[in-house]
Amino acid sequence: MSGRRAGGRCPAAIGTTPRRTHMSTLTPARAALAGLSAVVLALSLSGCSILSDLTSGGGPDRDEDGAVAATEEADVFSLKVGDCLNEASGSMISDVEFVPCGEPHDWEVYAETEVEGSELPADIDTQAENYCVPQFESFVGLDYNSSALEVTWFVPSEQSWSSGDKLITCIVLDPAGQTTGSLAGAAR
């Protein structure tokens, strides 16, 4: 099954550092991006079998309002803005653990956009950073450079792009640990 590629992570400017160990000597934001991208690539390469496509469970159970109803692993392609999930490891992501936002979780999807063009951009992670960071302030209610929170993203892999995946999915997280509830308007 094709998966989505995990993008980089932009550490907050308040001296926090990303939790990824796959870092280069680039700036912290670019290094974080490269580390998460490598993890996503590895996952997509490992999850490319036809059998996986046939056995994919689809999306999580949702309540009448569309919110995730119970903690369960489900297809990364079923993520929606407002979904909460636990941290996904690896560079290629095909399934993630969805969590009701009222329960402790690692990440929250706060924005998404579709990439234009017929070919996967070489600078997809830069495009993700350039989209996700400005969206952060309107979601959290505080300028990204003043926040203790961090941003990461999922972007298309080569394989998922060729299958029509063109979404950049923006994710907010607290590097101090899990949160309960939404970070919308958290202003921290």
User: Residue 112 phi/psi, 5° resolution?
Assistant: -155, 155
The pLDDT score that the predictor gives to residue 176 is 97
The pLDDT score that the predictor gives to residue 15 is 29
Averaged over successive runs of 10 residues, the pLDDT of the chain (188 residues) comes to 70 32 31 45 39 56 95 95 95 94 98 97 96 97 96 96 96 98 98
The pLDDT score that the predictor gives to residue 97 is 97
- Please tell me the pTM assigned to this model: 0.74
The pLDDT score that the predictor gives to residue 5 is 81
The pLDDT score that the predictor gives to residue 187 is 97
The tokens describing 27, both together, are 């700036």
**End-to-end Cα, the chain, rounded Å:** 38
Per-domain residue ranges of the chain: 4-50+70-173
The pLDDT score that the predictor gives to residue 114 is 98
Q: 153 - beta bridge partners?
A: 170
Asked if 119 contacts 100 with a C-beta cutoff of 8 angstroms, the reply is: no
In whole angstroms, give the CA distance from residue 2 to residue 167.
Answer: 14
